[in-house]
Structure 1
Amino acid sequence: MPTDFATKPVLTGERVLLRPLTADDAATFQAILADPEVIRLTGSPQREFDLDRLRDWYGSRGAQPDRLDLAVVDRESGACVGEVVLNEWDPGNRAANFRTLIGAAGQGRGLGTEAVRLIVGYGFERLDLHRISLEVFAFNPRARRVYEKIGFVAEGTLRQVLRDGDGWVDATVMSILAPEWARHRGHPEG
């Protein structure tokens, strides 16, 4: 079993393939990050993303021993539609944070759900994590439903954590634990 995140696997599901990110993915993410709805749902700052900086960022993901960044590829089209990430690794507590970014081309077809199941399963079954946590904004019920379908449990609310126009938005902290994953393998509803 790997003892860190240095190994960058290829994980294959029915609909998606997760593979290591490369500099060649930069243009895809530049387009995804230009979508105002994606920016809003992820709480990212509204700005233009320089292609050279994105190439440097995505090209360096494979060399990171303390995080796992994988491209989400739609197996039907072969197109990269987003990313899934385990980061903020805490080896002493066998814990990591999870985040995802799925562009419009990958939404509404179950690709994100399968991608989350694949990386969370890898985190528990291959990286020996005990806890994976995330935060989801209140205005993103679709993402929260995906996380609940996989077995993430709401733990609490971070009140008014994000400025949204003239208002403020709460975020829900969610997590899934290794014993929960062992019971249902990402299918808690049956």
Structure 2
Amino acid sequence: MLEKQRGVTIWLTGLSGAGKTTICRFLETELRRTGYKIEVLDGDVVRQNLSKGLTFSKEDRDENIRRIGFVAQLLTRNNVIVLVSVISPYRAIREEVKERIGDFIEVYVNAPLEVCEQRDVKGLYKKARSGEIKNFTGIDDLYEIPLEPDIECKTNQESVAQSANKILNKLEKLGYINSLLLPQFHNNHSRI
């Protein structure tokens, strides 16, 4: 049985198609399997349920991130590990949320724009390039890369397991998880 769990928000930021959701799902599976309390706040799901009606203007994007940050803060405060998977393109609002939450690990999920476009199963980049979608991050709206992320996952150079293990290593180092409870952790750990 787990000893008392500490809450933390793991904030995965990066371009659409960089691999945020994929890494998030891997982490969720690994941590749930060993009994950790996990909640996932995925950008697409949040937009449908918590931020419906917000546009993609800078003001509305910032409001969306504030709402996600508020929920993440409540969960973190209640000793839940929160996995947040959102583009969150603007540095200042990411910093604001980080300050508010405190127990916060910023993960820059980094993949070149060309790679993200190749992975684009929803066809969003194609629509953005043709002008059907306006203010699309990476095309006609900027993405401000984190200056000092806690972790950088280069998803065009490493496997999902390698990226996820960087995060698990950090969680262990900071005392949020006990790696002895993650059997897969040690098997993949040596591949990093």
Flag whether TM exceeds 0.5 (same fold).
Answer: no
Higher relative contact order (CA 8 A, sep 6+): 2
- Identify, as 1 or 2, the structure richer in helix: 2
Query: TM-score under structure 2 normalisation?
Result: 0.30
